[in-house]
Amino acid sequence: MTETTPDDRKGLKAKTRLIHAGRRPSEQFGFVNTPIYRGSTVLFPTLDDLTRRNAKFSYGTQGTPTTEALETAWTELSGAAGTVLVPSGLAAISLALLTAVKAGDHILVTDSAYRPTRIFCDGILARMGVETTYYDPWIGAGIEALIRANTSVIFLEAPGSQSFEMQDVPAIAKVARAKGVCTILDNTWATPIFFPPHERGVDMAIEAGTKYLSGHSDLLLGLVSANAQWLNRLRATFDAFAMCPGPEDVFLALRGLRTLDLRLREAERQGLALATWLAERDEVAVVLHPALPSCPGHALWKRDFLGSSGLFSVILRPCSTAALAAMLDGLKLFGMGFSWGGFESLVIPFDCRVYRTATQWSPPGPALRFSVGLEDIEDLKADLAEGFERLRAVG
């Protein structure tokens, strides 16, 4: 039977590895995919085996062939030493932070971080005696000045998933490494396909598998990958919580993994087409898309990233709330709702002013975030063009 080993795959292109990683047909009666293993109990044939826990899998919380398939594939894709799976992207963030902090520590978190990350830091971590300082995402190597004797973590998100500030990840990672500080990156926007996190110097990387890995808005999942330095602690923290995702969701994520490259590249194409079109509209003041040369983060994106996904924002020229509502309420193809990365297009208004502390967010008008789906781009433009007509009509 033809089946690649991790060694065989080392010489293959990422796109090919994505198809083969985490699959062992020879262990599944030749079936192409690893099936859904459901289970708590694993039986040991003898007392000796039981006593020594002599089995590849010993209990459901510690993994199954289904979870192992996704973990190993993600590890390979990320260039990590290992991966753990948790039930949501936010759980991945909290698990990574809890892996690296202890009472009395100080951590640095980008001001552009996903808002629930801040809520975790300001609530749970503060209660545990961990102090958070938010920093300007553009800080780069200047982060050094904020590192204290008790700083244990620098948390990054590049680009910020609402406001799209880019971060100089290699520069921050270099300073952190020299100071013995752990770096954690929320890599959900780029995925390891467009930003290989560990190669760029990050210790732990988070992915909300809910977004592009799922790709279908039908599951919640989080992944944390770690380099060799952090894997054992990550795994031990995971085992202590036993915060395991359900087997169906892991299976669906594995299914999503096989088309991830294809879908991301289409999202990139669609995203660029829509962002370029929006940039030409009179109603739009600014487009925040790192792959557009007009975006402030473009140079960093070009240097460090291998592509752009289909999530970006625009700032409209000043208009009334009623005009914005007229535009958004009448859209037929763009849904309004949280999350992103599915096959369907979404739009959502946002306002960072309500939570920023280290930086000022003062856009000239309302901000909208788009997640571009797989619809025909001309239909999407027409839906938005009609929306802009309604916006203008109200004023």
The CB density around residue 171, as the number of other CB atoms within 10 Å, is 17
The residue range among 3-11, 82-90, 224-232, 315-323 that interacts with ligand PLP, by the rule CB under 6 A, is 82-90
The answer to the question of residue 220 lying near ligand PLP (CB under 6 A) is yes
- Alpha-carbon dihedral angle through residues 99, 101, 107, 113, given to the nearest 10 degrees: 30
The answer to the question of residue 339 lying near ligand PLP (CB under 6 A) is yes
Q: How far is the CB of 339 from ligand PLP (least distance, A)?
A: 6
The answer to the question of residue 152 lying near ligand PLP (CB under 6 A) is no
Beta strands in the chain (DSSP E): 82-86, 106-110, 131-135, 151-157, 182-186, 204-208, 222-226, 284-288, 311-316, 346-350, 367-371
CA-angle at 168, arms to 165 and 173, nearest 5°: 130
Q: Which of 22, 82, 89, 256 binds ligand PLP (CB under 6 A)?
A: 89
The residue range among 125-133, 143-151, 205-213, 285-293 that interacts with ligand PLP, by the rule CB under 6 A, is 205-213
Nearest to 14 by CA among 199, 183, 186: 199
Exposed e or buried b for every residue in 43-65, given b needs 16+ CB within 10 A?
eeeeeeeeeeeeeeeeebeebbb
The residue range among 100-108, 148-156, 204-212, 269-277 that interacts with ligand PLP, by the rule CB under 6 A, is 204-212
Partners of 347 in the β-ladder: 370
Instruction: For the segment 93-132, give every residue that binds ligand PLP (CB under 6 A).
Output: 114
Q: Which of 86, 101, 175, 208 binds ligand PLP (CB under 6 A)?
A: 208
The answer to the question of residue 90 lying near ligand PLP (CB under 6 A) is yes
Q: How far is the CB of 232 from ligand PLP (least distance, A)?
A: 24
Q: How far is the CB of 90 from ligand PLP (least distance, A)?
A: 4
The answer to the question of residue 288 lying near ligand PLP (CB under 6 A) is no
What gap in Å lies between CA 67 and CA 82, rounded to an integer? 12
Which of 71, 157 has the CB closer to ligand PLP? 157
Which of 90, 278 has the CB closer to ligand PLP? 90
Residue nearest to ligand PLP as judged by C-beta position? 89
CA-angle at 42, arms to 220 and 208, nearest 5°: 15
Which of 88, 167 has the CB closer to ligand PLP? 88
Q: How far is the CB of 18 from ligand PLP (least distance, A)?
A: 21
Instruction: For the segment 237-276, give every residue that binds ligand PLP (CB under 6 A).
Output: none
Strands lying side by side in the sheet with 106-110? 82-86, 222-226, 204-208, 182-186, 151-157, 106-110, 131-135
The token pair at 249 is 């969701």
Q: What are phi and psi of 382, to 5 degrees?
A: -65, -40
CA-angle at 142, arms to 139 and 145, nearest 5°: 125
Is 249 within 8 Å of 10 (Cβ atoms)? Answer: no
The residue range among 140-148, 206-214, 232-240, 385-393 that interacts with ligand PLP, by the rule CB under 6 A, is 206-214
Which of 88, 183 has the CB closer to ligand PLP? 88
The answer to the question of residue 155 lying near ligand PLP (CB under 6 A) is no
The answer to the question of residue 18 lying near ligand PLP (CB under 6 A) is no
Residue type, 57: F
Chain contacts with ligand PLP (rule: CB under 6 A) = 88-90, 114, 157, 161, 186, 188, 208, 210-211, 220, 222, 339
